Amino acid sequence: MLTRGASPYDVAKMLGDTIETVEKHYTPFVRELRERVRMILETGTGLENLSKIQASDPQNSAKKPN
């Protein structure tokens, strides 16, 4: 669910767990989330512009889930 764009809140509600538990135990294993955060930190770009950057980076677009 996280790799398809669901928020930790959504996943926590579906699992009947807390957001903190999802973030602690599941988020570290989702490569796409780590890559998204890395890109934001490296470029200094906010979320509103992230999709534009990903669309212009052919290497990154190959990593997007179907």
Q: What pLDDT does 53 receive?
A: 61
Residue tagged 């669901």 (tokens): 6
- Cite the beta strand spans of the chain per DSSP E: none
Which H helix or E strand runs over 15? helix 8-15
Distances from the Cα of 66 to the Cαs of 19, 23, 37, 43, 45, in angstroms? 25, 23, 20, 25, 24
Q: Does residue 25 contact residue 32 with C-beta atoms inside 8 Å?
A: no
For 5-56, how does the pLDDT look when each residue is reduced to its tens digit (9 = 90+)?
788 889 999 999 999 998 888 877 788 777 877 887 888 766 566 566 666 6
